[in-house]
Structure formats: structure tokens, C-alpha cells
Amino acid sequence: MDPLFDLVTGLPFDELDDWDADDFSDQSASGSWPDPTDLLQRLTRGVDCLTHVERVVRRTGRPVEWPKWVPRELRATLRAHGVRRPWSHQAAAADLAHSGRHVVVSTGTASGKSLAYYLPVLSALGADQRATALYLAPSKALAADQLRAVGAIAPADVRPAVFDGDTPWEEREWVRSFARLVLTNPDMVHHGMLPRHATWATFLRRLRYVVIDECHTYRGVFGSHVAHVIRRLRRVCERYGSSPVFLLASATVGDPAGTASRLVGLDVTAVTDDGSPRGGVTFALWEPPFMMTGGVQNLGSETFDGDDSFDAIGQSRIRVSTLRQTADVLADAVANGARTLAFVRSRRGAEVVASMTRRALDEAVPDLADRVAAYRAGYLREDRRRLEQDLLTGELLGLASTNALELGVDLVGVDAVVLSGYPGTLASLWQQAGRAGRGARDALCVLIARDDPLDTYLVHHPEALFGRPVEATVLDPSNPYVLGPHLCCAATESPLTDADLPLFGDGAAEILDRLVADGLLRRRPTGWYWTGDGRPEIDLRGSGGASISIVEQSTGRLLGTVDGGSAHAHVHTGAVHLHQGESYVVDALDLDDCVALVHAEEPDWSTHARDVTSLTVESVRHVVDAGPVGMFFGTVDVTNQVVSYQRRRIATGEVIDTRPLDLPARRLKTTAVWWTISPQALADAGIDPADVPGALHAAEHAAIGLLPLVATCDRWDIGGLSTALHADTDAPTVFVYDGHPGGAGFAERAYHVAAEWLRATREAISSCGCEHGCPSCVHSPKCGNGNEPLSKADAVRVLDAVLDALRSAERRASAAGGAKLAMLSATS
């Protein structure tokens, strides 16, 4: 989202004040605007596929008076840009920040979050000619966009400037000396600003505000790194005598105050009541119908989306592929005269949808086939802008695109948006849906479920999409693998003292002892000192383990990288690897040189790695004793070895062969959530002892698939293990662990909302219409055991037994007058 756009559209234009449902004046030149309800009826003709239709009603904006402290000149400038008065949430957040409170504003796309932080920042810089402010964006591109936006409204003597890796050295000196608003990113604060903080002394001494934009992007291990960069920044500021106010902006997420507080290590107040206007949307949830295997020999090539699973093939009933369904809906919408944008997850998928749509139209309405195109990364910027323009003018009627972030800011106002699968987070869902609709006219948005447990759950539980946001951004600054290196960095910036320890959290003292024992730090009476010459190396965006480069053997071209953690499973010798939608076969994986040599090839089989995993429990941090069930959170040691891979025919799913692999075992020390259940409780639930492994395994798969519902991760960030008897727990056990050294906070979040998470898991399995399990419920695309054994019906029984036990434990706890179990607080 271009910030200028955000700033402007989030504000009450005169026209917007007068929005009215009866106002047809913004009707496009092409004439008729398809009524969404009517259009939806035509799209679904004869197919039983809608699980829910939600009318997201139009919201009128709530403008309020300017806060008294906003200088007259700034108001005048904003008025000149069409801003008459701020929306209520902008004024509320600005007021809090002005009064010295740390604040996070968490409201919808294009709600004008930037004005919320520019009001206090520009007012302060205007009132004090020496004051400074820092703006952090997750990417260089966003900071550059912000410069354009703020440049238009900032007083001349603020001299806003970008400071990032591309800033020429000769310019950096100027930025340090003269810019009073510096726009940068966390990487640059870590690599460029903190190590040379003495050269920034004047700027830091006068620092009044730190703006952290798009703060929901700081999640998982990356988020934990950024949390410590911010703590180091706060510590250095304190040395120079300043204590800036933090102003954060986030997409709508669960618990914004909690996440923001964790990110900056301070108490942050959330402003979430969105006062900006919004057009109405008719939102349809669509589940592709089942069909028989006989007629879909081409299904394989159509589901050639890295995210789709092939495991369904060979089952008795399978669903129409998501890409096929997307193409059908797109073709029908175009045939009905609706300008439609379809979002597809992979580049290859976007091409496939566009060509299937053209083929479908070719038969029905031949002259429309040319008015559908694909849109993806890799096209030149000008070409992409032209495609957008053509869609806006109606020259093009259908566009199949990869993801929203690549799109230009002007592309708002199509008649319908089709989402080919849940885009992963509610924030992206609303961002993509937000492309639909012009002015006061309602638009249509259709979400087509993919064949996986999360999508299936969502189309059957609209309250998870349209109710309060359930997913919270998760990060874990206490991860010792993250905290240790940052303590070393902090020590190079200025010796660490006892007074610094609370800033870095409970585990800091213990980790310092270890760093001293390892010879990295030295303890002296005045504090801890870094012993090395240079600085400790930290890759803020790395996920642990050396990443593997994917190189095309014939040309030496670097295609990309995969992180070390998943390399064995994805780019082993012989693997068919999809990179940005293109297909490659791996000739050799060289672990010593961290390189996978590949050649472009599109064989008619796919490859599936098989692995063996073992796990030992290192320590238990939290536990709930629920009688026959135990719920745990703690540290585990996972050993995983990829041992072979299967080649499967794409069209039929038939296994061609299984080939051995010679790869070393790998160890991962991380955090996990696990539950145990007694054999007696399993028997009472009616599960035959022989079916226990399949019951636990199926429950584990579905639980991993549903974890993104409660934490912003995807299923590839987490792993699992289930066993009918585990040596460390002495009971049937299901483990779900973070796939990053030291953990990323996902398993911890799962523990705290265990009841909510497992109830959703149970619902996802039981509401699936398949007989014996499918990718929509208990199959996993990443199962190292070929999805065997799995028992769908018994998984529901296991989860019922676990949930019952947790509920009774809560009742007992409250009857005994004890504190309500925190993790069960969401049960009622």
C-alpha cells in the first residue's frame, strides 16, 4: 500500500462525506455495474458450493475536530491536500502519543494510519526546531514511498531523508547532520546506526518519536530479532538522555497492544476503533464440490501450485481443484461483464488460471478470451502498470495475479475479487478484498477454499473471518538463540551493566554467564565487555542454519535460496523443486558448499521426501494437569533425518518408486507444546489400541494445519510428532514444535490458547465431508510418513476426550477457588 494513497484516502474528502448508496455518479464509463448478489447467483448456477454469504456493510466515516495542539500551519497544509478533519481513530492515537503514551493504531487497510503518526511527529518537529524523529519500515521500498508522502506535507526545515543500504556514503553524513526525520528499516538500525551511534549522537539525543510502521510484519524469529534491535536502540538513546515515544501502526490483528508491547518492551496502548469510511462488500465463501476421480485425468497439471497437495489423488472422492474452480469463476464473471481480479498464490498458478479462463471463454464467448491476462512478478514494471490501467478502463475484464503487494496503488475499483485460497492472514485477506468496489457501490468478493484444513475450517466458520480477528502476531524475544547474539552486539555498543538486564528480559543474566564461559564476553567491575575484534554476526532475517543456494548448473545463475532447515526435504538430489512457479530438478545437493545444482525440467512426476523424527523432552516450562490429559509447554530436542523420497505420477498420484537418500541427521533444540492422554481415556473414548497411532497422527496433522488460525505462522514453520508411547512422557503423546532453533513463539501461543486451538481442529475434521480423511482435514502435504497411518474418526474422539478433560480441569480449578486457568480462558 502506497503511504500517500493511505494518507489521502484515509481522510475525509468532501466527496466522501457525501457518500450515499443511491449515488450512481461514480458509475464507470463502460456503463452497468453488476449487482453483487445478482452476479453471485449467476456464478453459482447449478453448483452447490457456497458455505456462507456475508454482507459487510458500508461504514460511514466519523470525522472529528483537530486536536488543539496541532499547529495552524500543519492544518492548513493538510487542508490543501484535501484533508478537512481527521477520522476519530487518527485523532485518538495522535492525542495519546502527544501526551507521551506509547501507542499502536491497528485499523483497516487504507484507513489513514499514517496521519495518526504524522500529526504528533510533525507537530513536535514544528514546535522544536531541534527535535528529531525516526521512522522504521519493514522494507526499503516502503521507506522510499513514505519519503514521497511525508515530503509533501512536512515543513521545509524537517528535511526528511531516507537512510538505508542504498544511501551513498557522501550523503550519509548529510542525513546524520541535517535530517530531522530519518526514514529507515530495522536492518539499517542494526548494521548502520547502532554500531556507529557516536556519529548519530546529536540526532539520538534529540529523538522524540520512533514510528514503527506495518509492525505486524515483525513476527516469528525475525520479529524476535527486531524486538532486540529496538531494545538496543532504547538503551543507546538512554545513554544520550532521550526517551522517545513509540508510535506503531499495524494491520488489524488480534491483541495489537500485547504484541506491540512485546516488540518494543514497553506498555503500549492500542487504538482499534476504525473511524474511516468503507464501501460495502458481499463476501461469499466457496468450497469446491467433490467429484469422482474418473473424469479428472488432468487434475495434476492444474493443481500444479506449490501449495496444493497431490495426496487427494487416488482417494475415492476428490474436490475440483482450486485453480480450476478459480478459472471457472473468473470466466463466468467476465462473461457477465464484471471486471474481476483473481489472486492466486503462485506465479505458475496465475498463468494457469489465466490460460484456463481464456480457454473456457474461447468456447463460450470467443471475443472475450483476449480480455483476460496474467499478472505476476517478473514482468516489467511498465507492463504491469499497463495491465492495471487496462483493467481499470475495462479494456481488460479479467486479471489473474500473484500477490497483492506487487500491485500498484491505483488498482482499486474492480467489480469482483476472487481469492484462490485463503491468503494466510486476515490482514492480506482484507487487503486483497479491498481491491473490490468503487465509492459507495457494493462489490463482490469470493474466497475459494483450497484443499487443506485451515481453508476448510474457515469456509465453514465464517465467524473466524468476519468476527473479531483471532490471529495474533507472535514473537519471542526470550529465545536464547536470538537474545545471546544481541547481548554481544549491545556490549560492543557500550559495556553491559546490571542495570541493563531488565531491558533484555528474565533470561538475560543466565545467557550472559554462558557468553562469559564461552569467552565471548568478559566480566569486569564496570560491566560485561565484548572480547572479539569486529562485531558479532547476526542475520536478522535468517531462520537458523546456513541457507542453501539454488543454482542452475548450465548457466551458474543463482535462482534463489532455501533455508537450511527445509533444504533436505525440498532440494535433495532428485527432488522436483518449484521456484517462483517454475519447475526444476535437483542434480546434486552439496551440503559442504551449501548449494543445490538444478536444471529446468518439468517431469510428469512430483517428489515427496520421507523422514524419520525422534524427540526428547529437555525441560517443561508450563503444565496443566487435567487428570487423564496433560498439556505441556517446554523445550525439546528434535532429531530429524530425511531418508528417502517417493516419485509420484502427477496425473494419478501413483507411486513410481522410492529412492534412498544419504543425508545426515539434524538436531534442533526448540520449544514445543504437547499433550498426553492416558491409554484408559483412549479406551473409554472407544478407540481400539490398534487405532491409537492413526488417531494421534491424524489429530497432529490437523492441529498443525489449524495453528495459523491462532498465531501468524504457516504450517511450514512448525513440525509435529505423535506416538502411542513416548519414553519421556510414558504415555500416548502429540508434540507440535517450532521449526526454528530456540523457538519462534508459535508453540507457546498454541499452549496458551490450547482449548480454542484444539476445538477448531476438532471442528475442521468433523465437518469435512470426506469419508476417511483428505487434504481438507487430516492429510498433510509435508508428512514424512506418507500420510500413514491416519484415522479420521478416531482423531475426533481423541480431541473430544482431550477437550473434555481440559474443561473438567477448569471447572475443578474454579470450584476450588483457584485462579482460572489462563490457557482455558477462551473455552466458555
295 Cβ contact partners less than 8 Å away, ≥ 6 residues apart = none
DSSP 634: E
**Residue 459 beta carbon to Zn ion: minimum distance, rounded to whole angstroms:** 13
Query: By C-beta, is 420 or 722 nearer to Zn ion?
Result: 722
Distance CA 492, CA 505 (A): 19
What torsion, rounded to 10 degrees, do the Cα atoms 125, 128, 130, 134 define? -30
Do 642 and 609 meet the contact criterion of CB atoms below 8 Å apart? yes
Contacts of 123 (CB under 8 A, 6+ apart): 69, 70, 71, 74, 98
Considering the complex, state which of residue 60 and residue 767 has its C-beta at the smaller distance from Zn ion: 767
Cβ 770 to Zn ion shortest distance, Å: 3
Q: Least CB distance from residue 341 to Zn ion, whole Å?
A: 30
In the shown chain, the binding pattern of residues 756 to 795 toward Zn ion, with x for contact by CB under 5 A and - for none, equals ------------x-x---x-xx-----x-x----------
Instruction: Name which of 441 and 608 has its Cβ closer to Zn ion.
Output: 608
Closer residue to Zn ion (CB): 183 or 750: 750
Compute the least distance from the CB of residue 776 to Zn ion, in Å. Answer: 4
> Is residue 91 a contact residue for Zn ion (CB under 5 A)?
no
Q: Which amino acid is at 774?
A: C
Closer Cβ to Zn ion, 310 or 504, answer by number: 310
User: Based on CB atoms, which residue is closest to Zn ion, 180 or 726?
Assistant: 726
Q: Which amino acid is at 583?
A: S
Judged by CB, which is closer to Zn ion: 703, or 753? 703
Strand partners of residue 723: 733
Give whichever of 41 and 639 is closer to Zn ion, judged by the CB atom. Answer: 639
- Please say which residue, 355 or 766, places its beta carbon nearer to Zn ion: 766
Q: Which of helix, strand or coil describes residue 75?
A: helix
| Contacts with Zn ion, 281-300, as mask; x by CB under 5 A | --------------------
> Which is nearest to 247 in space by CA: 76, 65, 124, 427?
124
Q: Toward Zn ion, which CB reaches closer, 224 or 733?
A: 733
Work out the angle at residue 600's Cα, subtended by the Cα atoms of residues 599 and 601, and round it to the nearest 5 degrees. 110
Contact 614, 639 (CB under 8 A): yes
Q: Which is nearer to Zn ion, 91 or 777 (CB)?
A: 777
Instruction: For the CB of residue 703, give the shortest distance to Zn ion in the complex, in Å.
Output: 11
Q: Do 798 and 685 contact (CB within 8 A), yes or no?
A: yes
Cβ closest to Zn ion, residue 432 vs residue 456? 456
Residue among 224 and 321 whose Cβ is closer to Zn ion: 321
Rounded Cα distance between 326 and 316, Å, is 23
Residues paired with 585 in a beta bridge: 576, 599
Look up residue 108 and give its amino acid: G
* CA–CA dist 787, 766 (Å, integer): 18
- Measure the CA–CA gap between 675 and 136, rounded to whole angstroms: 40
CB of 701 to Zn ion, least distance (A): 6
Phi, psi for 646 (deg, rounded to 5): -100, 145
789 upstream amide cis, omega within 30 of 0: yes
Q: 219 CB contacts (<8 Å, ≥6 apart)?
A: 473, 474, 475, 712, 713
Find the shortest distance in angstroms from Cβ 746 to Zn ion. 18
Nearer to Zn ion, 678 or 767 (CB): 767
Please report how close the Cβ of residue 765 comes to Zn ion at its closest, in angstroms: 7
Smallest separation, CB 693 to Zn ion (Å): 11
Number of residues that bind Zn ion (CB under 5 A): 7
We find the least distance from the C-beta atom of residue 782 to Zn ion, in angstroms, to be: 8
Q: 10 Å Cβ neighbour count for 179?
A: 18
Write down the least CB distance from residue 636 to Zn ion, Å: 17
Q: How far is CA 669 from CA 15, 537, 546, 664, 737, in A?
A: 57, 21, 16, 17, 10
CB of 642 to Zn ion, least distance (A): 14
**Least distance to Zn ion from the beta carbon of 777, Å?**
3
Nearest one of 190, 206, 281, 279 to 241, comparing CA atoms: 206
Q: Name the amino acid, one letter, at 287.
A: E
| CB burial readout 456-477, b (16+ within 10 A) else e | bbbbbbbebbeeebbbbbbbbb
Q: Count Cβ atoms below 10 Å from residue 364 Cβ, excluding itself.
A: 12
Beta carbons within 8 Å of 52's beta carbon, 6+ residues apart: 284, 285, 459, 460, 462
Instruction: For the CB of residue 606, give the shortest distance to Zn ion in the complex, in Å.
Output: 17
Query: Cell numbers 480423511 correspond to what residue?
Result: 773
Q: Which positions lie near Zn ion, rule CB under 5 A?
A: 768, 770, 774, 776-777, 783, 785
